Amino acid sequence: MAGSASAEIWGYVDAQGVGHFSAAKLDDRYELFSKGDGPQAFPDEASQPDPSAHEEPPAPTLLSPKLAAFFESSQVLKAVRPHMQAAAQKHNIDVELLQALIATESGFNITAISNKGALGLMQLIPETAARYGVVDDAHGKIRLTQMQKLFDPQTNINAGVRYLRDLVNLFKGQLDLALAAYNAGEGAVQKAGNQIPNYPETQNYVRTVMQMYTALKPPLVQATPAVASQPKPPAGPDPLRPTKGRGNGLPLK
C-alpha cells in the first residue's frame, strides 16, 4: 500500500466515550487526532525486508497526546487488554495492529452494531463469526444467541483475530490487502485482482488502520555493539543482575 506523505488520523469521541476514527475528515465532528509520516512496511514473516539491504526503514510517527488520551481513558480497553494480548500472541498478530483495528471498527464499543449487521468490538458479520464456531446454542440449560456471544469481548476478539490471521495468510503477508478483505470481504479483493478494491470506504478504512497502527507501533531499538575490553579479575563474587527486557509495543497502562 502506498504510504501517505501526511498520515493523518481524524476522529471524535461521542457522549458515550466511543471513538470514531478516519484517515480523512468526514464531517464537522472530526478533529485532527494525529499527523505524521506513515511508513509503508508491516511485520510479517513473508514480507520481512532483505537483511542485506542497507536502506533505513521509515521512522514511525509518535502517538499524539490526543490519541493517547483516548486510549488512556478507555475503560473498555483496560478491561479487554488481557484478551487482546492473549489472542495477539497466540495468532502472531501485533497487539498494536489489533488495537488500531478495534479502534477503527468499533471505537471500543462492546455492543456496536453496524448498519450492515456487523457486531461487537471487531465488527464481525454473523456469517464470518459462524465460520469460527460462534453460533446460536442449540443445547444446554443456558442458551446464548450468536449476538450475545459476539458481545462477549473474549469471544469476539478470539474469532476476529483468527479471521484476521487467516486473511494475512491468504494474501501472503500483504497487510493492506488483508485489511481490505476484512472490510470488504476476501472475494472483493480477489475480484479486484488482489488489489484494494476501488471502494472509498474500504480505501479510507485501510489507510485509517494502517496509520493508527503506525502511530501505536514504537520504533525498533537498535542494539549498540559491545566494545571488547580486557576482563578484570573480580574482587569477589559478583551478584546476579537480572537484565531488563524491552516490552513489545506500546505499553497499555
Owner of C-alpha cell 537483511: 51
Model-level pTM?
0.75
pLDDT value at residue 91: 97
DSSP string of 7-61?
EEEEEEE-TTS-EEEESS--STT-EEEEEEPPP-----GGGPPPTT--PPPPPPP
Note the pLDDT of residue 139: 82
C-alpha to C-alpha distance for 29 and 23, rounded to whole angstroms: 14
* Closest C-alpha among 32, 59, 97 to residue 219: 59
**What's the pLDDT score for residue 140?**
76
Question: What gap in Å lies between CA 230 and CA 44, rounded to an integer?
Answer: 40
What are the pLDDT digits (tens) for 8-42?
Answer: 899 999 998 999 999 999 999 999 988 865 433 33
Q: Which residues are catalytic?
A: 105
The dotted CATH code for 7-49+57-214 is: 1.10.530.10
User: Which residues, given as ranges, of the chain have pLDDT below 70?
Assistant: 1-6, 36-62, 219-253
Q: Which residue has the cell 446454542?
A: 137
pLDDT at 35: 81
